[in-house]
Amino acid sequence: MEIVVIDGQGGGFGRALIEALRAAGEKRRIVAVGMNALATGAMLKAGADAGATGENAVLVNAARADVIAGPVGIVLSGSMLGECSPAMARAVAESDAQKVLIPVVKCGAHIAGLPEKPLAQYIADAARLIAGMT
């Protein structure tokens, strides 16, 4: 089973999620896919097994993934200060992979019904959810 973590900007969300997964003992292959090289580098330093950068990397790895995780902006065209292209958002949304999306108000999306939590708690919740997927 392959877990693909996608992030942009500085890669902080992806880095934190990969660190949480590894701290919880996650042994499955984790592929870091950054919308830019800075994000990819941060996720690789956090313990990803492999990394790739850019639009084509998102398209290819979204199609191969069993689980895709990242901020909710990875399914919103134009989010992340424009880093998420329409093709990237579509590739993630249309992938057969299970998606674990972390709510991030900075992406301009508010998800009704979610309790307000610190970002670290959402990341911990996402790591637990992914760990439970087989």
CATH of region 2-131, choose from 3.40.50.700, 3.40.50.2300, 1.10.490.10, 1.10.274.10? 3.40.50.2300
Question: Does the pLDDT of residue 83 top 70, yes or no?
Answer: yes
Question: Does the pLDDT of residue 7 top 90, yes or no?
Answer: yes
For residue 134, the model assigns a pLDDT of 67
What pTM does this model have?
0.94
Residue range 96-132, pLDDT digits in tens? 999 999 987 666 677 888 888 898 999 999 999 999 9
Strand order in the sheet with 2-7: 50-53, 29-34, 2-7, 67-71, 98-102
Residue range 40-81, pLDDT digits in tens? 999 999 999 999 999 999 999 999 999 999 999 999 999 998
Which residues, including other chains, have CB under 8 Å from residue 20's CB and lie 6 or more apart? 123, 124, 126, 127
The larger pLDDT score, comparing residue 34 to residue 119, is at 34
